[in-house]
Structure formats: C-alpha cells, structure tokens
Structure 1
Amino acid sequence: LWREKRGETQPEDLSANLVVQLGTITEDLNRRWYERQSGFAVTSVQKRARHPAISWMAATLDGLVEDLQAVFEAKFMLPWSFSEEAAAEKHMAQLQHNMWVTSTNKAILSIITGGGKWLELTIQADPLYQHLLLIAEKKFWSCVASGEPPRLFHLEPPKPRLEAVRIMDMSGSNAWAEWSNAYVRTRTAHQEHECAKSELKKLVPEDAREAAGHGLRARRSKSGAISFEQIEASHA
C-alpha cells in the first residue's frame, strides 16, 4: 500500500478474486436488504467524504443511515468458521476510520454470507481505538511523503465491543442444559442460605468481634463486614 500511494507500483488487480467480486456484486442487494429489514434508508452511497480538519483523511462510503446518524458498511463473508466477533474485528479499523471521517458515533455492518444468511451488527465509536488508528495513519502518511518504509507498531488493537441485540435459543446446548438444571436445583437452597446469613448478622452484637455456636463462627473485620466459617462442634 505504501508503494502504491507513492506511485511506485500499480494497485493489486482483484478482478480474478471471486470473494472480492462477490462482495462488489452483492453490495447493492446488501443495501436494499438492510433497508427492507430495518426500515431505514441508506443515503450517500459511494460518497467520497473528507475529514473537516485533516486534509489527507478521507473515506469512500457504502452509505449513511441518517436516521441513526450512522455509517453503513456492506460486506460479503464466507460462512465457514464465521463469527460475529471475528467479522467485527476484521472490519473494525475501516469502521472506526469512517466514523471518524464523518463525525458519527455508530456504524452499521450489514453482512451477507455465502450460506444465504444476512445479519446486522451495530458498532459504537471507540475513542481509544480511533486515537491509536489516527497515530498509525499519521505515521503512514509521513512515510508516504518522506519515502521512509513504514514499520509495524506490533500492538494489539482494542477488542471490538458489539451491541447486544440478539435473542438466542440455547435449547440445543448440552452445557446450557446442565448448568440451567443446576441453577434451578440450587436456587431455593441459595435463597435460604442468603436469608440465613442476613438473620445471623442481625444477631451479632455491635460490640462483638467474634461470635460462635452450633458449628458456626462469625467474625467482624476492621471495616465492620461480618463473615462466617464452619467450625468443628468441639470448638463451638
């Protein structure tokens, strides 16, 4: 990319890259499908936007969802080993960059997979991620101007934060079945246990540092918190 921006080489020819071409061909369908499913219109399609204060910072937008004050990004992804977290992480730099350029605080990532599935991810602007991205972009453009080859920072970017919008059916999960049964089975005992602790604390005199009896000891910490421990009957 550095050599491309300096005019020393031509951009990579992606016309024979099937996945890239599928993304290009399905972009219009992706946008129309999002509009149909969400009820929101996508405007500013393929608009070239520039940052109002940083002259070299620009973005070509898939669109804007003005009702949500969000940038829109349409992607095609292969279904194998697909996960929402991986999709968000893969496109996070582009989304944060586009939000920074357009002064928006939200991005809509609309994804069509090769498995015939469509999903929508909402990504919030991340000030820390954008700050680190800006530092990297400034250094890159400095290298473009000076001719100095850019070097990687070797830093892990912040993990993407996804907005919780899905409703999951966990009936097919054996682990969920096991732990949900344990939760239901132990709930009454847990409630009784918490009630017992509350009542026992009321029985400990205010000036008592320790109280014991019937196989249980209560101790008051310097901060006033009371904790319990089971003891042998001979020590009670």
Structure 2
Amino acid sequence: MATIAAHGAEAPHHVIKFDPIDRRAFIGGSDARIIMGNDQDDLTRLWREKRGEIAPQDLAHNLIVQLGTVTEDLNRTWYQRASGQTVTDIQKRVRHPVHRWMAATLDGIVAETGAVFEAKFMLPWAFTEEAAAEKHMAQLQHNMWVVAARTSVLSIITGGGKWVELTLHADPLYQHLLLTAEKKFWRCVQSGEPPLLFGIEPPRPRLAAVKVVDMTASNLWAECAATYLRTRAAHGEHELAKSELKKLMPEDAKEAIGHGVRAKRTKSGAISFDPVEMEAVHAPGQ
C-alpha cells in the first residue's frame, strides 16, 4: 500500500507494477482518450487488445511518441526550474481504490499542490493551448479521478522550441461522462460485445487566463475602443454626479426633482435617476 498526497490530504491507493501485456487488466489514461474519441477503428483495436485477441500496438517506430519519451526528463526538469515546484511519484502506477479496473501511470505528482503532472511533446504546426488541452483532457481527467486530485499540470515542449505550461481543473461533469463511457467499454471487454463510439460531447476545457493577445487586427475592437476612449471622461463625470446626488437626497424623501433630474427611492432603499421635462412637472409642496 502506498500513499499519494492530494491537496495536503493523505489518500491510500494501491501501487502496482506490470509489464506491457498486463495493460489488458485495466483502463489507463491513454486508453481514456481513445474511449472518449471519435475513431471507431481505434476503439475496436483497444477492445481487442484488452480481450487479448491482438498484441498491444508497437509504438517503437512512432517518432512522435518516441520524441515524447526521450524529452520527458527534460520536460520535467524544465517545469521544475520554471515553476519552482517539485515533481515526485515519477512513473508510479496507481489503481483506483474503488473501481479496480481503473489505473493511472503517472508522469508525476506536484509535491506542493498534489496536482497531476503530465509531460507532452507536440508538433508546432497549428499549435494552440486550447487544442492541446482538448487533446489530452480525457487522460488528465482520468488520472485526476484515479488519484483524487483537483488539478493537473500539462507541461508541453513543442518541436518549435517552445515550452508551455497549462493548469487544468478536475471537471465533475466531464469525469461523470468519462466514467460512464469507461464502464460501458469495460463491460464490452468482459462480455465480448464489440463497443460502439459513445458520442459524448465533452465540456470545453477551462484554461487559466494567462495569454496577452494583440487585437490590433480587429476592426470591431478598434470601433469599440474608440467609443470607450471618447466616452470615458463623460462616464466618470456621470457616475460622480450620481453619487453626489444620492448624498444630497434627504433620507426621508421618496422622490426628489430639480433642474431636469428626478431621483426615486425604492422600498429597498436603492435610488434611480431619470431626466424630466421641468415645465411639465410640479413638485409636491409647491
């Protein structure tokens, strides 16, 4: 029995060791991406692998996968240096304490926060943070569920020499959909019934707002920005005048009128203003 810290709390999980063929005995994070995906051939192949009908796919000649493997140590080191955090539990394999068919092979756990650490290599062409988060969301949500973590860190090195850090949060709705799909898939593995795509549209990933974006090319932004700058001073004077008028209104007054402005007090005490035509208004008491 081993212990993994999750947000300061000690949570017991079973640490297990297997050779590659033993991956047939559980659903891991990389499997979750296929199960939540939209490729029927990949899903059928995974089902056959879990049933022992075919050997696991040999990724030794997949260059992208191998680049991810050989840069993993560098990725982790770069993250620790840039963030000041420490990554522990490297390549630890953990089984879910309740759903015994769920397990995770961790790239690591961020010691200070309990966040799941995931190191990835991605090609630079058309790379976006949103696309990266969406691509790896199923794996991250699966691993967070297995170890009861609330956050995960996606540390990415691109082929263009760029390093990106994304923080993603556990999403209860996504994890509910994920668990439902994985349960159905595992029943198919046990029963021999071929699985079909589950057709689940997962929630869009929620990313921390960390980017600085240049909106110079947007014509609508330019139009609205000009209006904002032109009216900013007048808006400030307007708000100041409202504040002063509220102070001047007697506390026992339900309504106050003068110089083209009417102030009304609601039962809750809120005061609102509107312009009036003075010649058409006769204030009470006059």
> Does TM-score exceed 0.5, indicating one fold?
yes
2:184 is equivalent to residue 133 of structure 1: no
2:73 is equivalent to residue 28 of structure 1: yes
2:145 is equivalent to residue 100 of structure 1: yes
What is the match of residue 51 of structure 2? 6
2:116 is equivalent to residue 74 of structure 1: no
Contact 2:185 2:195 (C-alpha < 8 Å) held by counterparts: yes
Residues 155/227 of structure 1: CA separation in 2 closer, same or farther (3 Å cut): farther
2:97 is equivalent to residue 62 of structure 1: no
Any unmatched runs of 5+ in structure 2? Answer: 1-45, 250-256, 282-286
What letter corresponds to residue 191 of structure 1 in structure 2? G
What letter corresponds to residue 161 of structure 1 in structure 2? R
Alignment partners' CA distance in 2, 1:99 and 1:142: 22
1:165-196 per-residue CA deviation (whole Å, 9 max, x = no partner) reads x252x4x4313565444322221223344556
Percent identity (aligned): 69
Contact 2:144 2:150 (C-alpha < 8 Å) held by counterparts: yes
What is the match of residue 209 of structure 1? none
What letter corresponds to residue 112 of structure 1 in structure 2? I
2:215 is equivalent to residue 173 of structure 1: yes
What is the match of residue 17 of structure 2? none
Q: Aligned pair count?
A: 233
Alignment partners' CA distance in 2, 1:42 and 1:94: 18
What letter corresponds to residue 207 of structure 2 in structure 1? L
What letter corresponds to residue 151 of structure 1 in structure 2? L
Aligned-pair CA distance for 1:34: 0.6
Aligned-pair CA distance for 1:130: 0.8
SS in 2 for 1:92: helix
1:40-75 per-residue CA deviation (whole Å, 9 max, x = no partner) reads 111111111111111111011111112111110000
SS in 1 for 2:87: coil
Aligned-pair CA distance for 1:12: 2.1
SS in 2 for 1:16: coil
SS in 2 for 1:34: helix
What letter corresponds to residue 109 of structure 1 in structure 2? L
TM-score (norm 1): 0.81
Any unmatched runs of 5+ in structure 1? Answer: 205-211
Residues 85/18 of structure 1: CA separation in 2 closer, same or farther (3 Å cut): same
Q: Aligned match of 1:144 in 185, 189, 209?
A: 189
SS in 2 for 1:94: helix
TM-score (norm 2): 0.68
Alignment partners' CA distance in 1, 2:246 and 2:198: 55
What is the match of residue 109 of structure 1? 154
Aligned-residue CA RMSD (Å): 3.0
Alignment partners' CA distance in 1, 2:85 and 2:243: 52
1:128-150 per-residue CA deviation (whole Å, 9 max, x = no partner) reads 11111111111110000000111
SS in 2 for 1:185: helix
Alignment partners' CA distance in 2, 1:173 and 1:197: 33
What is the match of residue 157 of structure 1? 202
Alignment partners' CA distance in 1, 2:226 and 2:185: 55
What is the match of residue 132 of structure 2? 87
Aligned-pair CA distance for 1:111: 0.4
SS in 2 for 1:133: helix
1:87-121 per-residue CA deviation (whole Å, 9 max, x = no partner) reads 11111110011011111111010000111100111
Alignment partners' CA distance in 2, 1:11 and 1:47: 21
What letter corresponds to residue 23 of structure 1 in structure 2? G
Q: Aligned match of 1:47 in 92, 102, 123?
A: 92
